[in-house]
Structure 1
Amino acid sequence: MFDIKSAKVIWDYHHLDQDVVPADGIIAFGSHDLHVAERAAELYLSGHGRYIIFTGGLGRITQKIWHKPEANKFAEVAIEKGVPRDVIFIENVSSNTGENIQFTKKMISDETISIDSVIVVDKPFKERRLFATLKKQWPELNFSVTSPKYSFEEYLSYYQESEELTVDDFINIMVGDLQRIDVYGDNGFQIKQEIPDTVWDAFQILVKEGYDKQLIKA
């Protein structure tokens, strides 16, 4: 069993808890987490945007569990929730966050989509990394960040019941994203983020417990 206190410290650090106000549109970043698609649909249906862009092909995790691009899976979820197909744009060839941004920018330009302001949606444990990456790679974008409104305990329950990923996968992904915030801030891939000692201590505890499967070579 992992150190729950340390996992919750990292979970809280990943959150930005930004206010979300209506914008031109919504950009949902693909992953294995279909809750992100549900959150994007919820925002559209509550009048927070006039369109949704789903971005994501198959990444390092989803290529092992799905045969359909993330963006297409997300679009299906949104349509089931009541979002009209004609307000959905799909970018489905990117395989990482940098490509998500690069290919989405090109699609927006090609389709002449209004982009004065957007709400970006991702996993709860990727809010901070997405924010820092967008600030570096898309500095002109006027955006706020949000994620599915579920607690750490609710996500634990979800992964306990999931047939695709496990609780250990969940903790490994959170730990890996924290390391990326540190490494990518140093190499210029994103703007730097301060990582408090308490958060880094939690990271070290979980790594020592064996949660190192999503770490990258620094």
Structure 2
Amino acid sequence: MISTQAWADARKLWDFHQMHHEPRPCSVAVGLGSHDLGVADTAVDFYRRGMVPLIVFTGATSRTTEDRMPRGEAIHYRERAVALGVPAADVLVEPQARNTGENISLSRALLAEADVTVSSVLLISKPYEERRAYATARKLWPEVEIVSASTPMTFDAYVDSIGDASLVLDMLVGALQRLMIYPKQGFMIPQPVPDDVVAAYERLRREGFTSRIVADGTPAGR
């Protein structure tokens, strides 16, 4: 049973993880691979609305996607986009990345190799990964403007879509820990974390929502 306080703390982390950027037209959309096909659907929506002329999907597999997406996250995302009507020529695939840093650096290299001029990126992630993705991209791709985006949904709707509330709370805690420790390791730019968000994070850790916690010296991962 998840306590009332834990739910309140989780909602606080959820809100902080989102950048609340207003989507606008960009040079390209970059969809970060994960278990969530909603990333692909959101990229398609932006494409249909004329916000981007090109989509890059990036991601290999992880322990949470190897069964659901055996051909790789980016490839499954591309198949989804094409099935939804995006021309295949407008969807590039980067199938090697296994963490957020590689998502950014390998997508950047792919676009350079394809001779695509990029001044702005509509960076699409899971809702609770917006801030982490933004901070990583600003570190590794500083010369472009980064606009963070995700599938618009409430915290409760996201929990329902995953079907495992404890896992969602674990992921929120793990994402915040990375925001606090990865800048020191050079993986992302610092993001000031308000005291009330830190307090919520610490309470959730004490309640045992720690399956996505990493050791401070662990290389950047999902």
Question: For the superposition of Structure 1 and Structure 2, which TM-score range results when normalised by the shorter chain?
Answer: over 0.9
Q: 1:209 aligns to what?
A: 207
Instruction: List structure 1 runs of 4+ shifted beyond 4 angstroms.
Output: none
RMSD in angstroms over aligned alpha carbons? 1.3
Q: 1:106 aligns to what?
A: 109
Contact 1:60 1:95 (8 Å CA) reproduced: no
Which of 74, 85, 106 aligns to 1:82? It is 85
Of stretches 113-122 and 61-70 in structure 1, the one that deviates more from structure 2 is 61-70
Q: 1:97 aligns to what?
A: 100
Contact 2:119 2:143 (8 Å CA) reproduced: no
Q: 2:14 aligns to what?
A: 11
Contact 1:16 1:128 (8 Å CA) reproduced: yes
Contact 2:69 2:76 (8 Å CA) reproduced: no
- What does 1:85-164 align with in structure 2 at a 5 Å threshold? 85-160=88-163
Secondary structure of 1:77's aligned partner: helix
Deviation at 1:63, TM superposition (A): 3.1
Secondary structure of 2:175's aligned partner: helix
- What does 1:45-56 align with in structure 2 at a 5 Å threshold? 45-56=48-59
Q: 2:37 aligns to what?
A: 34
Count of equivalent residues: 213
Give, as a single letter, the amino acid of the residue that structure 2 aligns with 1:98. Answer: G
Q: TM-score, structure 2 length as denominator?
A: 0.92
Q: Which runs of 5+ in 1 are unaligned?
A: 161-165
Deviation at 1:64, TM superposition (A): 5.5
Structure 2 vs 1, CA of residues 125 and 59 (structure 1 numbering), >3 Å: closer, same or farther? same
Q: 2:188 aligns to what?
A: 190
Q: 2:66 aligns to what?
A: 63
Which whole-Å CA distance do the structure 2 matches of 1:59 and 1:111 have between them? 27
Q: 2:27 aligns to what?
A: 24
Deviation at 1:78, TM superposition (A): 1.3
Q: Which runs of 5+ in 2 are unaligned?
A: 217-222
